[in-house]
């Protein structure tokens, strides 16, 4: 076990260096996990060391991308509902966070089913067991939980809005639309929970909705991974969303 830890440390440094390289080179990388440079380059994606799963392109890429983000949110809210802040939160906050958990779990499982049905090559389906790291979140703290929820929901909105252009099938654009508006409802609710007696405009504040145009955020995958990547351990890339 001790030996494995020292390998982990070295690989983490290598992973960070590689991530920085990939950022500089314009490629989108998520996941701070082990990126071992010296293993066989097999085609089994995540199951082999050295092969990093790419989300793909077009419809497949967007479905996998959304699945990754819904896995992240579902895992986060699972932790929230297991935490001591939620256990003793006021009725409104308990109800909202439980609803968010319910919705994200539903979304996550829907994407898995949809991907299984739509992505016929199973090696191109994002695995359903992504690993996350929430050690930076204090689930006993209202401030920590709500701030993280806000970041994840706003990032989710930005991710869906930014990914619309990569969808090739009109029906999938409609489906993505059905979900992004719910994420936006979530984001507004969390923002207003954080500011109950203070900033009544925070639900759709000038920090997230551009003043001149009234437009919400729309992020590139790289921007999404900058915001959410710290939580994602399992590495994957999204190098060519629009190809």
Distance CA 176, CA 154 (A): 15
Kindly report the number of other CB atoms within 10 A of residue 89's CB atom. 20
Distance CA 177, CA 195 (A): 27
The answer to whether residue 243 forms part of the interface with another protein (CB under 8 A) is no
The answer to whether 69 contacts another protein (rule: CB under 8 A) is no
Does position 147 interact with another protein (CB under 8 A)? The reply is no
Cα 149 to Cα 171: distance, rounded to the nearest angstrom = 29
CB of 69 to another protein, least distance (A): 14
Whole-angstrom CA distances from 39 to 13, 48, 53, 158, 164 are: 17, 8, 15, 35, 36
Q: Return the range that interacts with another protein (CB under 8 A); candidates 14-22, 27-35, 127-135, 154-162.
A: 154-162
Q: Which lies closer to another protein via its Cβ, residue 14 or residue 182?
A: 182
3-class secondary structure, 57: coil
Q: How many CB atoms are closer than 10 A to CB 237?
A: 18
Q: How far apart are the C-alpha atoms of 139 and 62, rounded to whole Å?
A: 30
List 157, 224, 228, 232, residue binding another protein (CB under 8 A) = 157
Choices 1-9, 140-148, 215-223, 225-233; region in contact with another protein by CB under 8 A: 215-223
Give first-to-last CA distance, the chain, whole Å.
43
Q: How far is Cα 174 from Cα 170, in angstroms, rounded to an integer?
A: 6
* Binding flag, residue 125, another protein (CB under 8 A): no
The one segment of 19-27, 44-52, 158-166, 233-241 that binds another protein by CB under 8 A: 158-166
Closest to 154 measured CA to CA, from 223, 239, 57, 234: 223
Options 15, 34, 75, 184; binder of another protein; rule CB under 8 A: 184
Tokens coding 72: 């992240």
Residue from 142, 164, 233, 240 in contact with another protein (CB under 8 A): 164
Q: Identify the three-state secondary structure at position 109.
A: helix
Residues that bind another protein (rule: CB under 8 A) add up to a total of 59
Choose one: 33-41, 103-111, 123-131, 137-145; the region binding another protein (CB under 8 A).
Answer: 103-111
Rule CB under 8 A: choose which of 151, 204, 230, 233 binds another protein.
204
Quickly tell me which residue has 């890339």 as its tokens: 237
Q: Report if residue 79 touches another protein, rule: CB under 8 A.
A: no
Tell the smallest beta-carbon distance from residue 148 to another protein (Å).
Answer: 19
Binding flag, residue 109, another protein (CB under 8 A): yes
Residues that bind another protein (CB under 8 A): 95-96, 98-99, 101-103, 105-107, 109-110, 113-114, 117, 157, 160-162, 164-165, 167-168, 170-189, 192, 200-201, 203-205, 209-218
């Amino acid at each position: 076990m001790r030996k494995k830890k020292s390998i982990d440390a070295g690989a983490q440094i290598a992973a960070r260096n590689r991530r920085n390289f990939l950022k500089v080179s314009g490629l989108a990388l998520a996941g701070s996990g082990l990126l071992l440079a010296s293993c066989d380059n097999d085609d089994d994606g995540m199951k082999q060391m050295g092969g990093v799963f790419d989300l793909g392109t077009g419809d497949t890429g967007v479905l996998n991308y959304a699945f990754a983000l819904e896995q992240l949110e579902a895992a986060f809210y699972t932790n929230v509902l297991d935490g001591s802040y939620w256990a003793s939160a006021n009725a409104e906050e308990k109800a909202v966070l439980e609803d968010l958990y319910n919705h994200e779990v539903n979304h996550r499982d829907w994407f898995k089913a949809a991907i299984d049905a739509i992505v016929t090559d199973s090696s191109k389906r994002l695995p359903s067991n992504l690993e996350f790291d929430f050690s930076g979140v204090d689930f006993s703290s209202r401030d920590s939980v709500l701030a993280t929820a806000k970041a994840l929901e706003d990032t989710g909105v930005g991710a869906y809005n930014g990914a619309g252009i990569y969808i090739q099938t009109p029906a999938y654009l409609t489906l993505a639309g059905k979900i992004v508006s719910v994420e936006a409802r979530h984001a507004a609710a969390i923002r207003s929970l954080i500011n109950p007696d203070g900033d009544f405009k925070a639900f759709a504040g000038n920090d997230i909705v551009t003043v001149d145009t009234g437009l919400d955020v729309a992020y590139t995958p790289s921007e999404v991974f900058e915001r959410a990547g710290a939580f994602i351990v399992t590495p994957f890339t999204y190098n060519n969303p629009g190809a």
